[in-house]
Chain A
């Protein structure tokens, strides 16, 4: 469709004219400008909602909201076209079969072996071994090898040595969805462990010997303590209400040597609504500080983040300081349990704060333990009540921790944002379906590619320059504060206002330091080379009169001065009431970068996605798919190119 206008969200006066294309996998907007022909690509999988707004004199507005928080506002000239696009997008954004998803057609031009290697990058067996199991207290259990015991669990889990198959099977029958207690994290220093499960089907008075034995077994696997904590991450009221449905929580009278604890984290529906409210605040045009703070408070979002974090802190403390094992569950043990176990692990073990370790953590506590990616993030069209930003909250907890402990994580904010992006993008197969069983049935590993390999290949972009594995901040457990005036929870504008560059700091400390480090490395290499040459020259007799001093070409000009200058940035609209200042929003200058991000899924020109779309059925004759990055750009989210000087009041 031609003559479509793409509006700037911050400055509604600014609009770009272009052509809109719909392909099997993307919506693409190509600008009409003669030089740039900037492209904006949006994956159908990313589309969260489409809103057709009232037709105005200028055309028919269409608002596309994405799961990665991008908001695109288009104006289609003809109402009929707008309607067609709307209907098409609704269908395209709600795939019915897995085969419709992008990951099945995405072709990064790797051979079969490379694809396999990519999937092998994260090996959970290795991870459990690294933790120190199997050992005298823990063993691997294959009772679920055909998913016969629990179809949302992996084929292999770790259980206490004294838990026989009989106990495990018996316990699974007493647990919601048969998700029996299994090992999530083992601390070899003191034998304390974090185990996870779902709620017991205790109702008001039901008991199960095997389940009680299971908890005993967990306790016995830690000789250093004579009790275990059982942490129910639900609010007490919800847990009690579950009893009426024949479920509930562990009764301290029935389970010997447990200390039971509620940590009230709200359910997926509350979280979905919370995010919704927060996004509404983000969409306000020119809110006052009060509007914003009040809206943020009203959404409750940070409160929920804190609740998850506090639960993680409690568990980490129990394991690291008290040396007591913890069994964590919620209702079904695949949402809040996953969040809390992974936050606790991250606090406890510096390995999970490395790039590889973080991938392993997600594979372990989210992917292998059956977090329902499909239902929660809408790979396929499904029940809207199942949708909830569960992993988004975990990822935000990690970001909040990174802000408090800047030297403790090997990766940077961009790493987190890209992971979140790809959980929704369905470009890779890692986060499809609801369980390991489903993924194996679909032969995901043979038909799609692994995100981890992709991120690993580009890991230079994701490094935190302040990280050192031997840094004091990175030894042992992290101890964050709890009171909100001590642990300053911030609003993550890098995520929720990701595409509004004008709102973010205009210079990136991370990118600057990374550039310096790169240069340092180059200089070190040069130094080495020169050192060798010097040694050689000294060895050989000084008969040779002339010594050619060949300067090495320092090809990369690594100082960010160039990008600094390009941040000439334009003023925001500082006075909405004043017509005499038609300034452009600074996001204007950075829109190129937002196209970079969209089209390349945030990666540099090495992203194989766009270098050749020949395998995709584009249905578009004229799409000149040159990679819009032009190469050579730092993947900095704020290295926008300078835009033309704005036109201001004449005279």
Chain B
């Protein structure tokens, strides 16, 4: 699986032999590949007017292009704001709650991204085909798809270290602009142009899979919530900056502590371990039907109700396993 940004085909239908060679090199002999464009066909076509575009069949004959329109990041921010607003609405009216939940569209985004990631994983696992994923910049939906696909396919990504590596590889090193995206979160007063809960949405999707396969992840929900928090505000330097170049310029490795160095200490790690984890070598396929996806109460309703009962359940679980 490879990722990139959009090809600069433009209105003239420019081609680039080097680009074609590069991605063709990832094809397995005798097999073709799939390009998963995270924009709808319309949007991808419109991109040409601004110099962007998509891979044309005539130049990339061994590749089959699939468009799975995932919302642009700015839409996600609006979605989050509406969702959080719904979660703060203490009205007793069920209709109101459900309609606000639906109007936020948050779960729709979860479904879309999970579905696309599953598709990518399917191409690789079921067809043995190579996959190239890109959207416009290759810094948002692209990364959601590639990282989720790996969680589906690769059991190592479900271990704590493996997941940390995945985040480092597919988000930090890949240049997801954390600084821009995770500046203000849902309560921002001024509408930030680049603000979007892309990483949170990714974590939400991971949680959905975790919920469906509770024995297949070495980490627990708390781990994901911790990462969400640190992406927005952290005493560690890991999520600062927008890409590796900036981090190097800011001399972060010299001036700040790494989140991982703290998380991976035994006393911290024990809080994030899943007591019922049983390593398996399976590819796990999440269900993406609406009935199978739930609102991530651990994040969105976290302050709405006493966490006591669920924490006690967690403790009980740990006790049972420990005693055994």
Interface set of A (CB-CB < 8 Å, partner B): 282, 286-294, 296-297, 300, 302-303, 306, 310, 404-408, 465-466, 468, 471-473, 481-491, 493, 497, 502-507, 509, 512-513, 516-517, 519-520, 523, 559-561, 564-565, 567-572, 574-575, 578, 580-581, 583, 586, 646, 648-649
B285 within 8 Å of A (CB atoms): yes
Cβ contact within 8 Å between A507 and B305: no
B94 within 8 Å of A (CB atoms): yes
In the complex, A651 Cα to B230 Cα: how many Å? Answer: 45
Selected from A286, A517, A580, the residue in CB contact (under 8 A) with B320 is: A517
In the complex, A648 Cα to B122 Cα: how many Å? Answer: 10
Interface residues of B in 281-316 (CB under 8 A from A): 282-285, 287-295, 297, 301, 304-305, 309-310, 312-313, 316
Cβ contact within 8 Å between B213 and A505: yes
Cβ contact within 8 Å between B324 and A520: yes
Give the chain B neighbours of A503 by CB distance below 8 A. Answer: 287, 289, 291-292
In the complex, A483 Cα to B98 Cα: how many Å? Answer: 12
Cβ contact within 8 Å between B290 and A289: yes
Q: What residue in chain A is nearest B310 (Cβ atoms)?
A: A406
Known A-B contacts A300-B95, A306-B94, A503-B291; the reply to A572 vs B118 at CB < 8 A is yes
Known A-B contacts A485-B89, A507-B213, A583-B126; the reply to A471 vs B291 at CB < 8 A is no
Selected from A520, A568, A575, A578, the residue in CB contact (under 8 A) with B323 is: A520
Cβ contact within 8 Å between A489 and B94: yes
Cβ contact within 8 Å between B291 and A292: yes
B252 within 8 Å of A (CB atoms): no
In the complex, A490 Cα to B301 Cα: how many Å? Answer: 13
Cβ contact within 8 Å between A483 and B280: no
B276 within 8 Å of A (CB atoms): yes
B45-77 Cβ-contact flags toward A at 8 Å (1 or 0): 000000000000000000010101000000000
Q: What residue in chain A is nearest B110 (Cβ atoms)?
A: A289
Give the chain A neighbours of B301 by CB distance below 8 A. Answer: 485-486, 488
Known A-B contacts A523-B324, A564-B215; the reply to A506 vs B284 at CB < 8 A is yes
Give the chain A neighbours of B321 by CB distance below 8 A. Answer: 516
Selected from A294, A485, A504, A567, the residue in CB contact (under 8 A) with B87 is: A485
Give the chain B neighbours of A506 by CB distance below 8 A. Answer: 212-213, 284, 287
Q: What residue in chain A is nearest B215 (Cβ atoms)?
A: A507
Selected from A482, A502, A509, the residue in CB contact (under 8 A) with B276 is: A509
For the A-B complex with A289-B105, A493-B292 known, give 4 more contacts whose Cβ atoms are closer than 8 Å: A407-B313, A483-B90, A483-B92, A575-B115
Nearest-neighbour CB distance to chain B for A469, whole angstroms, equals 13
Give the chain B neighbours of A581 by CB distance below 8 A. Answer: 119, 122, 126
B19 within 8 Å of A (CB atoms): no
Cβ contact within 8 Å between A578 and B66: yes
In the complex, A394 Cα to B92 Cα: how many Å? Answer: 20
In the complex, A166 Cα to B1 Cα: how many Å? Answer: 84
* Most chain A beta carbons < 10 A, residue from B290, B310, B317, B323: B290
A-B contact pairs, 15 of them (CB 8 A): A287-B289, A292-B291, A293-B102, A296-B98, A300-B95, A406-B313, A465-B320, A466-B317, A485-B86, A507-B213, A517-B324, A564-B282, A567-B213, A567-B282, A572-B285
Cβ contact within 8 Å between B291 and A497: yes
* Most chain B beta carbons < 10 A, residue from A288, A509, A560: A509
B234 within 8 Å of A (CB atoms): no
Q: What residue in chain A is nearest B87 (Cβ atoms)?
A: A485
Cβ contact within 8 Å between A289 and B317: no
Cβ contact within 8 Å between B276 and A473: no
Cβ contact within 8 Å between B102 and A571: no
Give the chain B neighbours of A289 by CB distance below 8 A. Answer: 102, 105, 107-108, 110-111, 290, 293
Cβ contact within 8 Å between B92 and A407: no
Give the chain A neighbours of B305 by CB distance below 8 A. Answer: 481, 486-487
Selected from B88, B97, B278, the residue in CB contact (under 8 A) with A484 is: B97
Number of interface residues of B (CB under 8 A): 66
Q: What residue in chain A is nearest B125 (Cβ atoms)?
A: A571
Give the chain A neighbours of B240 by CB distance below 8 A. Answer: none
B162 within 8 Å of A (CB atoms): no
Interface residues of B in 95-133 (CB under 8 A from A): 95, 97-99, 101-102, 105, 107-108, 110-111, 115, 118-119, 121-122, 126-127
In the complex, A574 Cα to B280 Cα: how many Å? Answer: 23
Nearest-neighbour CB distance to chain A for B260, whole angstroms, equals 28
In the complex, A513 Cα to B214 Cα: how many Å? Answer: 12
Known A-B contacts A407-B312, A567-B282; the reply to A572 vs B126 at CB < 8 A is no
Cβ contact within 8 Å between A569 and B294: no
Give the chain B neighbours of A516 by CB distance below 8 A. Answer: 320-321, 324
Cβ contact within 8 Å between B214 and A509: yes
B216 within 8 Å of A (CB atoms): yes
Cβ contact within 8 Å between A293 and B212: no
In the complex, A271 Cα to B66 Cα: how many Å? Answer: 44
B211 within 8 Å of A (CB atoms): yes
Selected from B94, B122, B304, the residue in CB contact (under 8 A) with A303 is: B94
Cβ contact within 8 Å between A519 and B324: yes
Give the chain A neighbours of B93 by CB distance below 8 A. Answer: 484
Interface residues of B in 168-212 (CB under 8 A from A): 211-212
B91 within 8 Å of A (CB atoms): yes
* Most chain A beta carbons < 10 A, residue from B88, B89, B92, B291: B291
In the complex, A513 Cα to B277 Cα: how many Å? Answer: 11
Cβ contact within 8 Å between A649 and B127: yes
Known A-B contacts A505-B211, A520-B324; the reply to A490 vs B288 at CB < 8 A is no
Known A-B contacts A513-B320, A561-B280, A586-B285; the reply to A504 vs B292 at CB < 8 A is yes
In the complex, A505 Cα to B294 Cα: how many Å? Answer: 11
In the complex, A276 Cα to B121 Cα: how many Å? Answer: 37
In the complex, A93 Cα to B174 Cα: how many Å? Answer: 62
Known A-B contacts A466-B313, A488-B301, A560-B278; the reply to A574 vs B119 at CB < 8 A is yes
Selected from A297, A487, A504, A505, the residue in CB contact (under 8 A) with B95 is: A297
In the complex, A565 Cα to B284 Cα: how many Å? Answer: 10
Cβ contact within 8 Å between B317 and A513: yes
Cβ contact within 8 Å between A571 and B291: no
Q: What residue in chain A is nearest B114 (Cβ atoms)?
A: A574
Nearest-neighbour CB distance to chain A for B11, whole angstroms, equals 28
Cβ contact within 8 Å between B108 and A290: yes
